[in-house]
Amino acid sequence: MNMEAFVLGCGGVMPLPGRHLTSILLRREGELLLFDCGEGTQVSLRELNLRWKKISAIFVSHTHADHVTGLPGMLMLSAQVDRSEPLYIIGPPRIKEFVDWARDVLEMYINYEIVVLEIENPRVGGVVYTGEGFTVRSVPLNHTRTCVGYILEEDQRPGVFHPERALELGVPRGPLWARLQRGERVTLENDAVVLPEQVLGPPRPGRKFSFITDSLFRSDLPGEVAGSDLLICEGMFHSEFRETAHEKKHMTAADAGELAAAAGGVQRMGLIHYSPRYADGQLKLLVKEARRVFPNSFLTRDRQAIQLPYRDE
């Protein structure tokens, strides 16, 4: 099952030419999930030719303008096509107020169901969305406004199927093999019962995607993002401006690197939500700083596609 992340915007505070505001689209097979919806999200969707009408849910970290200004346009865009499934919008308190205000003031024509779910206790976190074979949970962050991060975790996969074991147990090739691979027991013509664990290896982990912005470093965050196949984390400032960053409750690139290193098991960490004070050529300062602590750090760029393969592939 394919999974890939698309960077629709990597900037913070204000959009720049070629750098829209923060937004990540995660595509898991045919399902699309959007994390934050900054200004310019629609532009990147069109440029990447993504099927935006397939977006099932939008996860909002907080209601600062540079994370939600693209949302009204996305709601109106979705009304331009036939849509039978509801669109879920999930976020901390006040996200419903923002959506209702936008719909009212802009007099939006909406021809589909919008379900806004506010996270009841954002300071604790927990599962906020369940899809087929995965869950998304919120984690509390420390920002100037109530803010949450999101962790998507896939269910465990069945172990590797061993055909030689199936043949030794008398299971003929065909549909019975598929049933065993799905974790079902099968009964043979001689009434013998073959269990999945007799022909499968140990269960294999699914993939994990973590989205963390905007926040100071928290002692509980490493445990939350541990084992991420892809961690997207803000690295808004170079440590030269550490005092400014922490005053505004943001992480520096060094903080992001320390988070990924302390977590353990993180495969890759992509920096995002850059301060507009850094021109494109200066962003290398940020990733250089992060790599001193966590070598598998990289800069996200608008319209970048990032594959999330299974670790055993």
Instruction: Indicate the residue type of 229.
Output: D
For residues 24, 140, 136, 113, the Cα torsion angle rounded to the nearest 10 degrees is -80
Tokens 């030719």: give the residue: 49
Instruction: Indicate the residue type of 70.
Output: G
Verify whether residue 255 is a known catalytic residue: no
Active-site position among 36, 66, 229, 302: 66
Q: What separation in angstroms does the CA of 56 have from each of 93, 113, 228, 243?
A: 20, 11, 22, 39
Torsion sign (Cα): 162, 163, 165, 169: positive
**Which residues are part of the catalytic machinery?**
66
